[in-house]
């Protein structure tokens, strides 16, 4: 997973909700070149051109992986790992929201992370974990071209596309650095969960061989 940035189109910002499975307004993301910008006296790596988000990492999802199933599995993983066990595993209480895309379908999740400030629990990070909106060409066979070369094609004879090339993890700025230790470990664990899905078709599978 590499660090990069993504743009942020118009959306309605929703207040944090206190239940697992709540839905958020659409927050589609688009991959662009990573930039570095100054915020006060500090620099924020991976800041989006609009200056509203910091992209932490992203993973390219192969076109053969069904997006709906992948997001469903990642949602289950986040509810269990972060929602149910966030305080025990990462030292922070967390809640999970679903994020709907522009088409009204679930496009990802938002992890709401809470910490203590002056003895009161406050929201310190909204971690958005979503598919981007790039339309990726998809192929299901190999066929000879008119020049005799073997090329990727589709049995239907039509151009086919899958929505979403990257699973992108980002957070709004300004950022609260008290969330950083937990975020670092969470992202490592999510990377492992994604690799398990690649290898075994489930974020919860183990290699017993």
Percent of the chain at pLDDT > 90 equals 50
What 3-state class would DSSP assign to 204?
Answer: coil
Cis status, amide bond into 3, omega within 30 of 0: no
What 3-state class would DSSP assign to 174?
Answer: coil
Transcribe 70-97 into DSSP letters: HHHHHHHHHIIIIIITHHHHHSSEEEEE
Q: Residue 166 sits in which domain range?
A: 5-200
> For residue 209, is it within any domain?
no
Residue 148: Cβ within 10 Å count: 6
> For residue 145, is it within any domain?
yes
Give the tokens for residue 83. 């929602």
In 3D space, the residue among 42, 39, 54 whose CA is nearest the CA of residue 7 turns out to be 54
> For residue 207, is it within any domain?
no
> For residue 166, is it within any domain?
yes
Phi-psi sector, 70: left (phi>0), alpha (psi -120 to 50), beta: alpha
Give the tokens for residue 78. 């986040």
What 3-state class would DSSP assign to 141?
Answer: strand
What's the total number of domains in the chain?
1
pLDDT in tens, the chain (209 residues): 433 333 333 333 333 333 444 555 434 333 333 333 333 446 778 887 778 999 999 999 998 899 999 999 999 999 999 999 999 999 999 999 999 877 777 899 999 999 999 999 999 999 999 999 899 888 778 778 788 888 777 778 787 788 999 999 999 999 999 999 999 999 999 999 999 998 888 998 765 54
């Amino acid at each position: 997973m590499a660090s990069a940035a993504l743009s942020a189109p118009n959306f309605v910002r929703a207040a944090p909700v206190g239940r697992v499975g709540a839905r958020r307004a659409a927050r589609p993301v688009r991959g662009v070149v990573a930039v570095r910008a100054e915020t006060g006296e500090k620099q924020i790596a991976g800041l989006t051109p609009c200056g509203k988000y910091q992209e932490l990492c992203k993973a390219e999802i192969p076109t053969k992986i069904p997006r709906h199933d992948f997001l469903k599995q990642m949602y289950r993983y986040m509810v269990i790992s972060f929602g149910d066990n966030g305080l025990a595993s990462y030292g922070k209480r967390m809640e999970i929201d679903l994020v709907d895309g522009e088409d009204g379908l679930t496009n990802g999740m938002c992890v709401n992370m809470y910490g203590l400030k002056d003895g009161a629990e406050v929201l310190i990070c909204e971690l958005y974990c979503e598919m981007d909106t790039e339309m990726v060409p998809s192929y299901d066979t190999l066929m000879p071209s008119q020049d005799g070369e073997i090329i990727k094609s589709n049995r239907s004879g039509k151009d086919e596309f899958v929505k979403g090339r990257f699973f992108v993890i980002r957070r709004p700025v300004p950022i609260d650095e008290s969330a950083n230790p937990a975020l670092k470990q969470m992202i490592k664990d999510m990377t492992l969960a994604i690799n398990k899905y690649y290898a075994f078709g489930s974020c919860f599978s183990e290699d017993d061989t």
